[in-house]
Amino acid sequence: MGQDLSNTQYFRVVSETEIQVKDVLSQVYDAMVEKGYNPVNQIVGYIMSGDPTYVTGYKGARALIQKVERDELVEELLKSYIKHKAWED
């Protein structure tokens, strides 16, 4: 029996070293604190503007945060916020 060539097959290699968004945020946050920056303000600045200079290059934080899409950062932050029900304070 022949192959059905009318459909496109998808192949994706999943890298074991693929970093999770929450790990990116954690590492960037820690680097910002170590350098004396306000990590919340700086990460918000990056998310809102897309300008990577809001994030320090220290410990590769700037390169690391650019590996994930900004909408993925917002999604991870919102999921964490909802999970911890922070609005009930």
Written as tens digits, the pLDDT of the chain (89 aa) is 566 677 777 776 655 456 799 999 999 999 999 999 999 999 999 999 999 999 999 999 999 999 999 999 999 999 888 888 766 65
List the domain boundaries for the chain: 21-88
- Quote the pLDDT of residue 76: 92
Whether the predicted model's global pTM rises above the 0.85 cut = no
Q: b/e map of 19-39 (b: 16 or more CB within 10 Å)?
A: eebeebbebbbebbeeeebeb
